[in-house]
């Protein structure tokens, strides 16, 4: 198929490359000329503006927007909607909040433009491994783009088949690595929860290794202290243990490179999706203790001290004369 | 009554003073001569050693130990047990772990020495307000010391009577400010949970004020920002609100003195009892999410960054190329 | 002053009564005729509709709306705005989400109508004790209603003065029990955080008593079990302890009435404000572990089992053959 | 090698079978005659008592104990120590608390008997996949049993090699699926943290799927509801996503079999190790919010309502007249 990729950063650039390798024709656009010429070198046709992008496609056009969530995506999609004709499709492949998708799909629908939201997991590895795709939108629009989904998704690969899958299966696409999750917003909703889970998993491993490391603490009785080799522990858990996973593989690699993780500041960003997952849980009254705690731990990692901590010190001073004041 | 107070720090000194004011005879001992002479000035008889302390009392002797939990208390009680005669009473008024009380009571029992554990709340304010006492031990031994409990406890005071109290009341002592909680260990167990709750309450206020303060953040949309007067908010909540409490009074006082709480480091210590409360909950399979989170928040306050945080950064770098490394 | 109270439920009715006792003239309206006649008996003038309410006041009119947050409040305020003239004031005294206040104040401003949001704490006790008021809105509008705030608020009362208060004080009103927190929305924001803290405090006490009760469990080694008198423990903590508070007073009263709390289902509702507080913390990146956990515990209390629990059982069966299936 | 396996349940039986397939000679003992004859059928020599087990081995003997942690293991190891000669090795392959290992190793050392603790992950799948082994004990004793570790562990298999592994590697055994973690206790400590992490991971997935399922709730605005196919979502996440793992594979299989997970009660047991992990974190002052929350969620799953919940209802009734009482 022929389609446009708008936004040629780490994610968009690799998606364009994987589509090119899969035999698709890509019209590539980015505000940054260097990003454009990189893609030209990879075989894409390059556009100099959104307008030019639209002209270089024939209806029904397909625009895949791959930009940071927020103003960049919002403005680009508004711009594309101006240029779009009935039957065209606008795909938001970024990390948009699902309620924004619901709103946008309504607006696009007024012009008979199809709006699709595609949650895309796979990170910098997706170019080789393929991308796990969670798609929201109207069924005919999703079906029309099947060749694109099949190229981007990992495919059956070497993943062992899930037992009992045969009978329960409503949608064979899941085994190829993509799903049509539901109407507009559903794709990003599923991707959002994916990331919320990701935060929880990461925090579980991180706390576990912290406890392993802390076992060498001189605070402990001498015969209850261990000085453990975290690198080897991560490695051995990759083999036959219940907690093997790709995130553990990455942890093992990081520890193999530097078992103290010295280069990292430990000020951990969050992309918004962990927080939205917790907000969704709050809306639904789901008691998501672990997913919330994982988001809050990241918040705490980014400040030296909190006002809350100071107020605790102040109260302790108030009732017990405990001094937590620099002397 | 005549009794010995061993350990004349912030808590022990004030307990001795309150007993003296109440007409009791106090034999005071501390390793620090200055602490001893302070109490002498307040009217106590002073002993120069544990042995001398024992000699200055007549059987049945009463030894009130008021020392930091751990080795100091443990060694002193062992020493006293050497000196004690059948019928004597050893009181641990500190913050001892209740399982240590259970063990010690067994050892003391072998010599017919009474062991009592007294959880004591009231902090530096207890001298004037009285101390809330939670007592563990055998019933006759607890009953024999009634004059001491009544002097130390706050008494009926001006606290309004609890409705329905009359009918349910098994123990009028609770309204005077002391209870016989159960056998040895029960006093410190109740005090331990008291402190566990205290951590939870403090953290609830602390987080609330942090959210109030954070509302001025420039991260927020301009029309959703407020610059709130925390000092006045703490003050107004003291009046007619559902969350009025003594800890709020202390918060209001701290904020009135310095609304930025500048002097405090925010590195918050914990005395062990919060942690033991969580351990008790784990033993009992009680889902104490809030009390655990309160203890863990204090742990987090005492380090700049955790190994867990660094591992999160390392994983994010691994799957997404996200850079959380000082540039 | 003369003002209308719209909504004569538990809160609105008592507010009207307290204003009447304070010498104000109250025009009372509720859709329920019985509620209206109750207020008539208490000395209020009664209106039969919103229109009639507006007619019974002279400009500048003051409408105090005291209805459940959501559609009831929203529709009433829209209706009043139709009827209002420039210079009139509409007060929302309920538990509205602060972003709705910000929006409404903007709309009211277009007609030069003053919009005030008043967070009101005190529950069913406010009639006697007075209400703690947290007010948002424009300064002149807030100032104009001073006689109303002073009647509703508890006043200085017998609460001991906060040390250092004198110097720091920007607003003597806080000591009378009301504050002007900031522009529209700020009143409800402060009240929302108040309730968020309330949830945290309640959960801290609740977990503590659960741990006390759980100490009698037969799961524990026999010599580490205590059968504790929760009623007396709640009572003694009211006296001289660090954790004394109004919520503890209420707990003591409930336990004095029935120490097993048999009548209560333990399915705990939430009013929205606890959840909004957590959402505010998420927006501000404040690590509010305790306040979140308190909200989530309520959610969990309302279901027998969660899908999450079932998935845990399913995974345990998958890797370990552990059977958590009714046999 | 020739060794005894004591305890022929799900884990012990399979370990014996894997050793037999690997060419080792197994003396098998269990109190249950049926378990014994099953193993005899698989090629093991069978002993009728601990004494007979000891006789059927020649010094230096190797006893592998694979029993439930607690009294069963403790008594068996005491019995074996009676029968053991200097140079013999006793291996605890179960889920023992690491402080019990430290104590036992000290006692065994007095008789020059080697004590090894082996954390064993792999569940019912270990027979085919191999077991991930975390070994604690003295270096010569661990080295002497190399043929056993190599047979039980998964070996290099098809797991892709960790980048940078070559340089950092201190212990090539990790890549074969076993490590010598440190002195006695270290093996079970590492396994304990492994299980603590496992609880956190499981809870993260479980909460995520709960949020996905909850999106169909009628509580939500109609256009923000999705009815999601959880079976397909679990499946698609197995392919190229950041959160792929063995636990996700198991979740996908469970959902493929029954997407409502109807057969499961959702009353989730815990084996002790999750709780011990949290206790270790508390000792070390590591802020393990997620791992604690995961354990507490299991506790909560096992009761209909908590006393804490009832006290919340009682307080709400006390201050607001909110009725949470069956009518």
Across the interface, do C306 and D210 touch by the CB < 8 Å criterion? yes
**Interatomic CA distance for residues B226 and C181, integer angstroms:** 9
Ramachandran bin of A312, using left for φ above 0, alpha for ψ from -120 to 50, beta for the remaining angles:
alpha
Q: What is the pLDDT of residues C82-95, one digit of tens each?
A: 999 999 999 999 99
Asked if D128 reaches chain A (Cβ–Cβ under 8 Å), the answer is: no
Share of chain D above pLDDT 70, in %: 98
Contact in structure between C277 and C192 (CB atoms under 8 Å): yes
The alpha carbon of residue C3 and the mean position of all alpha carbons in its chain are separated, in whole angstroms, by 23
Indicate if the pLDDT at residue D327 is higher than 70. no
C320 — pLDDT class (breaks 50, 70, 90):
confident
Across the interface, which of C198, C228, C277 has its CB nearest the CB of B242?
C198
Which chains share 3+ C-beta pairs under 8 angstroms with A?
B, C, D
Helix (H, G, I), strand (E, B) or coil at A298: helix
Share of chain C above pLDDT 90, in %: 87
| Residues of D known to be catalytic | 191, 198
- Which chain C residues are Cβ-neighbours of A296 within 8 angstroms? 287-289, 292
ipTM: 0.96
**Interatomic CA distance for residues B48 and B6, integer angstroms:** 11
Measure Cα distances from A290 to B46, C296, D282 in Å.
Answer: 56, 10, 18
In this prediction, residue D170 carries a pLDDT of 58
Domains and CATH numbers, chain D: 2-161+168-183 (3.40.50.720), 191-307 (1.10.1040.10)
D32 exposure class (CB count in 10 Å sphere: 0-12, 13-18, 19+): exposed
Which uninterrupted H or E stretch holds B298? helix B289-301
**Interatomic CA distance for residues A24 and A163, integer angstroms:** 34
* Two tokens, residue C91: 């007060």
Which chains share 3+ C-beta pairs under 8 angstroms with B?
A, C, D
Please, where are the H alpha helices in D48-185? 50-55, 71-83, 98-110, 126-129, 139-144, 146-152, 165-168, 173-176
Q: What is the pLDDT of residues C167-225, one digit of tens each?
A: 545 567 899 999 999 999 999 999 999 999 999 999 999 999 999 999 999 989 999 99
Of A65, A60, A62, A88, give the one whose Cα is nearest residue A76. A65
**Interatomic CA distance for residues D38 and D21, integer angstroms:** 15
- Distance in Å, alpha carbon of A267 to nearest chain C alpha carbon: 13
Which uninterrupted H or E stretch holds B14? helix B10-21
Share of chain C above pLDDT 70, in %: 98
**Interatomic CA distance for residues A301 and B217, integer angstroms:** 18
- DSSP category for residue A304: S
Among A74, A99, A175, A198, the active-site one is A198
**Interatomic CA distance for residues D234 and D251, integer angstroms:** 7
Which uninterrupted H or E stretch holds A27? strand A25-29
* Two tokens, residue B248: 């709020």
- Distance in Å, alpha carbon of D85 to nearest chain C alpha carbon: 34
Which uninterrupted H or E stretch holds D117? strand D114-121
Contact in structure between A252 and A231 (CB atoms under 8 Å): yes
HEC readout, A193-231: HHHHHHHHHHHHHHHHHHHHHHCCCCCCCHHHCCCCCHH
**Interatomic CA distance for residues B124 and B295, integer angstroms:** 23
Contact in structure between D317 and C257 (CB atoms under 8 Å): no
- Distance in Å, alpha carbon of D247 to nearest chain A alpha carbon: 7
Q: CB neighbours of A150 closer than 8 A, spacing ≥ 6? A: A176, A178
Q: Is cis: bond before B258, omega within 30 of 0?
A: no
Q: Which residue of chain A comes nearest to C242, CA vs CA?
A: A319
Across the interface, do C242 and B185 touch by the CB < 8 Å criterion? no
In this prediction, residue C41 carries a pLDDT of 97
Beta-strand relationship, C132-136 and C114-121:
antiparallel
Among C34, C99, C111, C191, the active-site one is C191
- In the stretch 53-112 of chain C, residues with CB closer than 8 A to chain D read none
- Distance in Å, alpha carbon of C217 to nearest chain D alpha carbon: 13
Which uninterrupted H or E stretch holds C103? helix C98-110
Across the interface, do D241 and A121 touch by the CB < 8 Å criterion? yes
**Interatomic CA distance for residues B92 and B189, integer angstroms:** 13
Average pLDDT of D33-41?
96
- Distance in Å, alpha carbon of B102 to nearest chain D alpha carbon: 21
Across the interface, which of A242, A278, A299 has its CB nearest the CB of C286?
A299
Asked if D192 reaches chain A (Cβ–Cβ under 8 Å), the answer is: no
**Interatomic CA distance for residues C114 and C145, integer angstroms:** 12
Token pair 């005291």 in the structure block, residue:
C66
**What string of pLDDT tens digits covers the 327 residues of chain A?**
999 999 999 899 999 999 999 999 999 999 999 999 999 999 999 999 999 999 999 999 999 999 999 999 999 999 999 999 999 999 999 999 999 999 999 999 999 999 999 999 987 788 999 999 999 999 999 999 999 999 999 999 888 999 888 754 556 789 999 999 999 999 999 999 999 999 999 999 999 999 999 999 998 999 999 999 999 999 999 998 999 999 999 999 999 999 999 999 999 999 899 999 999 999 999 999 999 999 999 999 999 999 999 999 999 999 888 888 776
Of A122, A105, A102, A115, give the one whose Cα is nearest residue A194. A122
- DSSP category for residue C180: E
The pTM assigned to this predicted structure is: 0.96
Task: Return the residue in A130, A243, A279 with the most chain D beta carbons within 10 A, the one to mutate for interface testing.
Answer: A243
Of C157, C73, C150, give the one whose Cα is nearest residue C115. C73
Task: Return the residue in B203, B275, B287 with the most chain D beta carbons within 10 A, the one to mutate for interface testing.
Answer: B287
The alpha carbon of residue C298 and the mean position of all alpha carbons in its chain are separated, in whole angstroms, by 16
Contact in structure between B198 and C244 (CB atoms under 8 Å): no
Catalytic-residue membership of C99: no
Across the interface, do D204 and A201 touch by the CB < 8 Å criterion? yes
Helix (H, G, I), strand (E, B) or coil at B282: helix
Contact in structure between A285 and C299 (CB atoms under 8 Å): yes
Q: What is the pLDDT of residues D255-274, one digit of tens each?
A: 999 999 999 999 999 989 99
Of A212, A214, A203, A213, give the one whose Cα is nearest residue A298. A203
First-to-last C-alpha distance (Å) of chain A:
70
Asked if D306 reaches chain B (Cβ–Cβ under 8 Å), the answer is: yes
- DSSP category for residue D157: T
Q: What is the pLDDT of residues B175-232, one digit of tens each?
A: 999 999 999 999 999 999 999 999 999 999 999 999 999 999 998 999 999 999 999 9
Measure Cα distances from C288 to A278, B230, C294, C318, D258 in Å.
Answer: 13, 17, 10, 35, 37
Of C29, C239, C24, give the one whose Cα is nearest residue C147. C24
**Interatomic CA distance for residues C46 and C39, integer angstroms:** 8
- Which chain D residues are Cβ-neighbours of B308 within 8 angstroms? 286-287
- DSSP category for residue B94: S
How many CA within 13 A on the CB side of residue A223? 10
| Residues of B known to be catalytic | 191, 198
**Interatomic CA distance for residues D317 and D320, integer angstroms:** 5
Asked if D242 reaches chain B (Cβ–Cβ under 8 Å), the answer is: yes
- Distance in Å, alpha carbon of C179 to nearest chain B alpha carbon: 7
Which chains share 3+ C-beta pairs under 8 angstroms with D?
A, B, C
HEC readout, B206-255: HHHHHHHHHCCCCCCCHHHCCCCCHHHHHHHHCCCCCCCEHHHHHHHHHH
In this prediction, residue C323 carries a pLDDT of 80
Contact in structure between D124 and C322 (CB atoms under 8 Å): no
Across the interface, do A240 and D130 touch by the CB < 8 Å criterion? yes
In this prediction, residue A190 carries a pLDDT of 98
Q: CB neighbours of D7 closer than 8 A, spacing ≥ 6? A: D29, D30, D65, D66, D67, D72, D76, D94
Task: Return the residue in C162, C294, C296 with the most chain B beta carbons within 10 A, the one to mutate for interface testing.
Answer: C162
Indicate if the pLDDT at residue C166 is higher than 80. no
**pLDDT: which is higher, A327 or C323:** C323
Across the interface, which of C209, C298, C313 has its CB nearest the CB of D311?
C209
Asked if C168 reaches chain A (Cβ–Cβ under 8 Å), the answer is: no
């Amino acid at each position: 198929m022929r389609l446009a990729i708008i936004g040629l950063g780490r994610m968009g650039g690799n998606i364009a490359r994987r589509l090119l390798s899969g035999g698709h024709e890509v019209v590539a656009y980015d505000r940054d000329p260097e990003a454009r010429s990189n893609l030209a070198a990879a075989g894409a046709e390059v556009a100099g503006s959104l307008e030019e992008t639209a002209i270089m496609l024939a209806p029904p056009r397909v625009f895949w927007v791959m930009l940071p969530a927020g103003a960049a995506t919002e403005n680009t999609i508004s711009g594309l909607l101006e240029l779009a004709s009935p039957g065209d499709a606008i795909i938001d492949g970024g990390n948009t909040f699902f309620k924004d998708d619901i709103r946008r799909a309504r607006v696009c629908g007024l012009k008979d433009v199809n709006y699709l939201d595609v949650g895309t997991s796979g990170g910098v590895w997706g170019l080789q491994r393929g991308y796990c795709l969670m798609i929201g939108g109207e069924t005919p629009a999703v079906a029309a783009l099947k060749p694109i989904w099949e190229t981007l998704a990992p495919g059956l690969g070497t993943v062992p088949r899930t037992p009992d899958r045969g009978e329960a299966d409503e949608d064979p696409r899941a085994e190829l690595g993509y799903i049509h999750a539901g109407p507009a917003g559903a794709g990003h909703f599923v991707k959002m929860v994916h990331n919320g889970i990701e935060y929880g998993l990461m925090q579980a491993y991180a706390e576990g290794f912290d406890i392993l490391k802390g076992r060498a603490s001189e605070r402990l009785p001498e015969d209850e202290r261990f000085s453990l080799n975290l690198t080897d522990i991560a490695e051995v858990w990759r083999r036959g243990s219940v907690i093997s996973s790709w995130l553990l593989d990455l942890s093992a690699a990081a520890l193999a490179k530097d078992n103290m993780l010295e280069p990292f500041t430990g000020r951990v960003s969050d992309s918004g999706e962990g927080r939205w997952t917790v907000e969704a849980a709050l809306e639904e009254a789901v008691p998501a203790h672990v997913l919330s705690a994982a988001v809050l731990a990241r918040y705490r990692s980014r400040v030296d001290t909190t006002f809350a901590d100071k107020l605790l010190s102040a109260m302790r001073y108030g009732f017990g004369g405990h001094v937590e004041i620099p002397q």
